[in-house]
Amino acid sequence: MTSKPLVGVIGSRYLLGDRYAAQWAGEKNLSAVTDVAGALPLIFAGAPDITGIGALLDAVDGVLLTGARANVHPTHFGVEPHPSHEPYDEDRDAVALPVARACVARGVPILGLCRGVQEMAVAFGSTLHPETCELPGRMNHRAARLENGEIHPDPEVVFADRHEVRLVSGGVFARLFGRETIRVNSLHGQCILEPGDRVVVEGVAEDGTIEAIRIAGAPGFALGVQWHAEHDPQTNPVNRALFRAFGEAIGTRRRA
């Protein structure tokens, strides 16, 4: 058995050449798990006919729910489907939502990033809005674009810090980062609208967008952030602190 903790990193469905179904996970997520959390990342399929949730959680010491282009299907939070919510990855929904609930129930450390925080929120009764900037007073949280509408070609521009997040004084995140205000990147359309009963909001952007949550009553690490913390935890002190805390939690579980 490997001496390193194992982290399951969820995959997303991708159609290769418009013909061949594949599962993918961004290498930034895998590198963050390896370099900062000190664990071995293992991609698992966001497909219920491939991934057995019980077997998965028996095998890993933690789970990372990553960002992805697809939105959580609105029927999971009581809203009728509409083109504004598209695209979807319903297979991933069918895995991610029960995985989030099972991790919390079992005390398996779980970290959600971007779509991942939305999955955690929905799993515990929250609702989402498909386009953050359509809400009154909100900024455009989507990736930086050129004048022609294409996403900016420079990743350093796309993933640059875009806004502040104010953290709850004395909360988990404020203690983790050693401060009550941080700056983060922003690459999302959908956002948490109404948090569920167990979803504790610990960080809010300057425009009121929910950016950091924890799951109340979770016996283990159960945190989610709306930004892409996987982009630069090797150099960014905020994102490094988040992945190190995740690594400490999975290490503790493995030793136990």
Domains of the chain: 6-125+191-199+209-255 (3.40.50.880)
> Which entry of 73, 141, 230, 231 is annotated as an active-site residue?
230
What are the φ and ψ backbone dihedral angles of 69, each rounded to 5 degrees?
-70, -35
User: Please, which residues have CB within 8 angstroms of residue 13's CB and are 6 or more apart in sequence?
Assistant: 21, 22, 23, 46, 47, 89, 91, 92
CA geometry: angle 230, 103, 14, nearest 5 deg: 50
CA geometry: angle 148, 153, 154, nearest 5 deg: 135
Catalytic status, residue 163 = no
pLDDT score at 2: 53
Which helix or strand (DSSP H or E) is residue 225 part of? strand 222-225
> Which entry of 73, 129, 188, 228 is annotated as an active-site residue?
228
Catalytic status, residue 228 = yes
Within 10 angstroms of residue 40's Cβ, the number of other Cβ atoms is 16
Spell out the per-residue pLDDT of the chain, length 256, in tens.
458 999 999 999 988 888 899 999 999 999 999 999 999 999 999 999 999 999 999 999 999 999 998 999 999 999 888 887 788 999 999 999 999 999 999 999 999 999 999 999 999 999 999 888 888 888 888 877 767 767 777 777 777 788 999 999 999 999 999 999 999 999 888 999 999 999 999 999 999 999 999 999 999 999 999 999 999 999 999 999 999 999 999 999 999 8
pLDDT score at 149: 67
For 11-61, list the strands marked E by DSSP. 12-16, 20-24, 40-44
> Which entry of 114, 119, 129, 141 is annotated as an active-site residue?
114
Alpha carbons 227 and 161: distance in angstroms, whole number:
10
Q: Which residues pair with 6 in a beta bridge?
A: 40
Nearest to 110 by CA among 147, 63, 170, 161: 63
Catalytic status, residue 230 = yes
Copy the structure tokens of residue 248.
């400490």
Residues in the chain: 256
Cα–Cα distances in angstroms (integers) from residue 233 to residues 10, 30, 196, in the given order: 19, 12, 29
